[in-house]
Amino acid sequence: MKTEKFDAIVLSSLSEKEGFRTLTGMLKETPLPDDELLANLGLYLTSKNLSRLLFFYEIYKKIVHTHGIIVEFGVRWGQTLSVLSALRGIFEPFNRHRKIVGFDTFEGFKGMGKEDGEACRCRDGSFNVTPAYEDYLSSILTIQEALNPISHLKKYELVKGDAVETVPSYFKSHPETIISLAVFDFDIYKPTRAALESVKPHLCKGSILVFDELCDDVFPGETVALKETFGLNNLRIQRMPMTARISYVEVE
Ligand SMILES: C[S@@+](CC[C@H](N)C(=O)[O-])C[C@H]1O[C@@H](n2cnc3c(N)ncnc32)[C@H](O)[C@@H]1O
């Protein structure tokens, strides 16, 4: 159920894991030449991994006609941020207002509490990344921007630290913020609750909230945080057919 190095949860079966291991080995020893590798990365995509990308493609299409920034709460290795940046490059390369802001400790979970239950068998520090990973990710996001127009304007920001402090402080120093898309993926209660409370004044009709763990018994804290801040009764919690776990709410 856990990855070997960083205490992350994987629900794959043994045979799936075996398949993933084989594909990973094949990627590491790829016969593809360097100058064709990136263009052919889909060769190694599984349906599960592709499904998440397709979800964000569909979500991005929904925000193209709304004004505001994108925030991700819980970045980890940053694939979602990078994909969102690529989608911005495809759909609205000149929208300098579509800032993408990611919050993470870059040191794993912080603030596990009783609302998070026991099922995930996590602790503070689970889902860690490698040292100074935020610098590596920042370089990738800079290249993503450089490959698209108006790259002289930096349109991403990584905010490192405990979200219980960094998120309220970010919005305090950016009172102009309108949120077009917020992705909640801290997994656990305390930072999720802090983020939900902070985004409230910055939402408008059409803003989209994406959740990675609603109704998930392994990580109950995310649902508890949403119940306590917005309540469930007024929300239309929707999903898409290609992914089981991710859901979204369109503010009405
Ligand atoms: C499941 S991962 C996020 C995955 C990412 N959204 C993606 O698409 O690949 C959860 C992240 O939440 C972060 N996190 C948990 N508690 C936090 C806190 N109190 N403050 C900031 N980040 C936190 C962890 O460091 C971890 O990187």
The pLDDT confidence band at residue 43, using thresholds 50, 70 and 90, is very high
In the predicted model, is pLDDT for residue 196 greater than 90? yes
Percent of the chain past pLDDT 70, that is, above it, reads 99
Number of neighbours of residue 109 by Cβ within 10 angstroms:
22
102 CA to centre of ligand 1 in angstroms: 10
Give CA separation, 34 vs 30, 31, 39, 142, in Å: 9, 9, 10, 20
pLDDT digits (tens, 9 = 90+) for 174-194: 999 999 999 999 999 999 999
Q: How far apart are CA 134 and CA 142, in angstroms?
A: 12
pLDDT at 182 (0 to 100): 98
pLDDT at 82 (0 to 100): 98
Report which ligand 1 atom has the smallest distance to the Cα of 194.
19
Q: Is 185 in the pocket of ligand 1 (CB under 6 A)?
A: yes
Q: How far apart are CA 68 and CA 202, in angstroms?
A: 9
pLDDT at 7 (0 to 100): 74
Mean pLDDT of 140-153: 94
Mean pLDDT of 27-33: 98
Q: Is 187 in the pocket of ligand 1 (CB under 6 A)?
A: yes
What is the torsional sign of CA 112, 196, 135, 21?
positive
Residue 247: CA count within 13 A, CB half-sphere: 13
Mean pLDDT of 99-120: 96
The domain limits of the chain are 1-44, 47-250
Could you say which of 3.40.50.150, 3.30.43.10, 3.20.20.140, 3.40.50.720 is the CATH number of the domain covering 47-250? Answer: 3.40.50.150
Mean pLDDT of 116-136: 95
pLDDT digits (tens, 9 = 90+) for 54-98: 999 999 999 999 999 999 999 999 999 999 999 999 999 999 999
- pTM of the full predicted structure? 0.95
pLDDT at 67 (0 to 100): 98
Q: Is 216 in the pocket of ligand 1 (CB under 6 A)?
A: no
Best residue for ligand 1 mutational test, from 127, 216, 219, 243 (most atoms within 8 Å of Cβ): 127
